[in-house]
Structure 1
Amino acid sequence: MPRFRLLLEYNGTRYSGWQVQRNARTVQGDLIEAVQTVTGRRDRLEVYGAGRTDAGVHALGQVAHLDVATTLPPATLLTRLNEALPADINVLDVRTVGHRFHARHDAVARRYVYQVSRRRTAFSKPFVWWVRERLDVEAMRRGAASFVGRLDFESFSDDDADEKSTKVQVDAVDVIEDGALVLIRVTGSHFLWRMVRRMVGVLVRVGTGDLREADVGRLLRSDGEDVARLTAPSAGLFLEQVIYPGESFRDDFRGPMRLL
């Protein structure tokens, strides 16, 4: 049975996250239904994603691997999957890979980007967090430096039975001004549940002056209750790129959405 590597983009607004759940619509669930429609197979079918995005979170470059018994070549599978999928999920690439490839376990780094809007928008509400207060971007950049390194992010995450350790290698946190947007791009080995949204929430409060730059380190050492209250909305978050051994991040991979 062949294994395929899929690259996907999706608008997560209508979905309860990536992972299949009972009585909830998910991206993985809709993808499985599309595979069943296209291949006619309901047995021996497995789909694994590189990251389990939360409800309302989007993806520009989610990676998944698919095991399904089919003779369809990758190009045909891509076309037919997109014909069967809803408009807010799109498969960008399909290729065959070896059976040892695992979309989640083999990933060596991931990059998320969060869009903060500095103005009210009629069109982009599902894709930004509108912050009314003035943001001190330089203060946000200085605060972001406290997140870089191999650190314990237990206070920035909820319990997740699948995570054996709360230590995460964060390689970079970039705060970028792009017109009316402030983009927060986080690159690291992997991310805990809600970790990026809480990092963003803290940095925004540094930008508004509600927190000091030194508070970032203090919150990393806290019990997490104060951090949880600062969690940024899911709407502004995008899984931008996932890379594997031998690959490297491309700054022009998709870029910011530039919705404003």
Structure 2
Amino acid sequence: MSDEVEPGHVRVRLDLSYDGKDFSGWAKQRTLRTVQGELESALQTVMRLREPVELTVAGRTDAGVHARGQVAQFDLAEEVWAEHHDKLLRRLAGRLPHDVRVWKVAEAPEGFNARFSAVWRRYAYRVGDHQGGVDPLRRGHVLWHQWPLDVDAMNEASAALLGEHDFAAYCKKREGATTIRTLQQLGWERAEDGIITATVRADAFCHNMVRSLVGALLHVGDGHRPTDWPGKVLAAGVRDSSVHVVKPHGLTLEEVGYPADELLAARSSQARNMRTLPGAGCC
């Protein structure tokens, strides 16, 4: 989708969240239930459109991955927007299934592109290492790890992964797509309830990147690998069979960051030049 909005149309931004458990990821598929499919269907229904809208999203999440701060967009004729914008949020609440919610609907500023204007995405991965397992009320959002984890060791190992690198060793390769990313933040913290949360922020993520990084760092945390091992894997630049892609249910897209309105178009153009595969699945 272009950054230019056709004359007579407005670009609409949606802020939304969803529980990924029963979705086959974000991206619309013909025979499977997806977040994009549910949203586009609901929007078409509540606005009584002949054709479905086409959503562009900040980050296409994989099957089973959750989102708390996802951002999407679509273009709409001005007269349709004028008719429906003040009622759209309430009507979507009545039409959408309970595992996806839209929290904000607004006209986007000029130059906005939900995917390419973003300057960072922040994910959280939650792990429990209590020997009794995970609280049943949180089992859909927390991975249970059967060995005790050393958070200090995982933070030490994480430091070597920060910055701009080729993350080919931690990404599922996609033809024609770069694996160079800037990892801005990667840190672990244990809360009072014992749940350990990894906070991972980057300009963008390639396929399976977050879950692969978490898998490598859990090996360090439980003592199966030394703290310098994840950095050595990164430097080798090839997939290592010892790096496991952890299960998706512990992962949540928490927030997407955008620059000031006047910088949106420039950021979008820059990001387009860096990424060659539109909307590749993530994390």
TM over 0.5: yes
Look up the SS of the partner of 2:46 in the other structure: helix
Q: Are 1:208 and 2:222 counterparts?
A: yes
Any residues of structure 2 matched to 1:223-242 within 5 Å, and which?
223-227=238-242, 229-242=243-256
1:5 corresponds to which residue?
13
| TM-score under structure 2 length normalisation | 0.82
Which one-letter code corresponds to 2:185 in the other structure? A
Residues 68-87 of structure 1 deviation map (CA, whole Å, 9 limit, x = unaligned): 33234534211111211000
Partner Cα distance (1:138, 1:12) in 2: 30
Partner Cα distance (1:74, 1:176) in 2: 41
Partner Cα distance (2:160, 2:19) in 1: 31
Which one-letter code corresponds to 1:129 in the other structure? L
Contact 1:110 1:187 in 2 (8 A): yes
1:116 corresponds to which residue?
127
Q: For the structure 1 residues 72 and 144, does the alpha-carbon distance in structure 2 shift closer, same or farther, using more than 3 Å as the test?
A: farther
Any residues of structure 2 matched to 1:1-260 within 5 Å, and which?
1-43=9-51, 45-69=53-77, 70=80, 71-98=82-109, 100-119=111-130, 120=133, 121-161=135-175, 164-178=177-191, 179-220=193-234, 221-227=236-242, 229-246=243-260
Which one-letter code corresponds to 2:44 in the other structure? Q
Look up the SS of the partner of 2:158 in the other structure: helix
Q: Which residues of structure 2 form unaligned runs of 5+?
A: 1-8, 262-283
Partner Cα distance (2:109, 2:181) in 1: 28
Residues 91-111 of structure 1 deviation map (CA, whole Å, 9 limit, x = unaligned): 111110146321001111110
Look up the SS of the partner of 1:95 in the other structure: strand
Partner Cα distance (2:173, 2:86) in 1: 40
Name the stretch that deviates more: 5-14 or 114-123: 114-123
1:252 corresponds to which residue?
none
- Give every structure 1 segment of 4 or more consecutive aligned residues whose post-TM-superposition deviation is greater than 4 Å: none
Name the stretch that deviates more: 41-50 or 166-175: 41-50
Which one-letter code corresponds to 1:169 in the other structure? T
Partner Cα distance (2:210, 2:245) in 1: 9
Residues 102-161 of structure 1 deviation map (CA, whole Å, 9 limit, x = unaligned): 100111111000000123222221111001211011000001101100011011111234
2:273 corresponds to which residue?
none
Q: For the structure 1 residues 80 and 215, does the alpha-carbon distance in structure 2 shift closer, same or farther, using more than 3 Å as the test?
A: same
Contact 1:46 1:68 in 2 (8 A): no
Bigger CA radius of gyration: 2
2:4 corresponds to which residue?
none
Contact 2:11 2:75 in 1 (8 A): yes
Look up the SS of the partner of 2:92 in the other structure: helix
Q: Which residues of structure 1 form unaligned runs of 5+?
A: 248-260
Which one-letter code corresponds to 1:159 in the other structure? K
Contact 1:142 1:213 in 2 (8 A): yes
Which one-letter code corresponds to 2:181 in the other structure? V
Look up the SS of the partner of 1:112 in the other structure: strand
Residues matched between the structures, number: 245
Partner Cα distance (1:118, 1:236) in 2: 13
Partner Cα distance (1:180, 1:21) in 2: 38
Contact 1:172 1:186 in 2 (8 A): yes
Amino-acid identity (%): 37
Residues 214-259 of structure 1 deviation map (CA, whole Å, 9 limit, x = unaligned): 11111112420325x5111100000010011128xxxxxxxxxxxx
Q: For the structure 1 residues 209 and 64, does the alpha-carbon distance in structure 2 shift closer, same or farther, using more than 3 Å as the test?
A: same
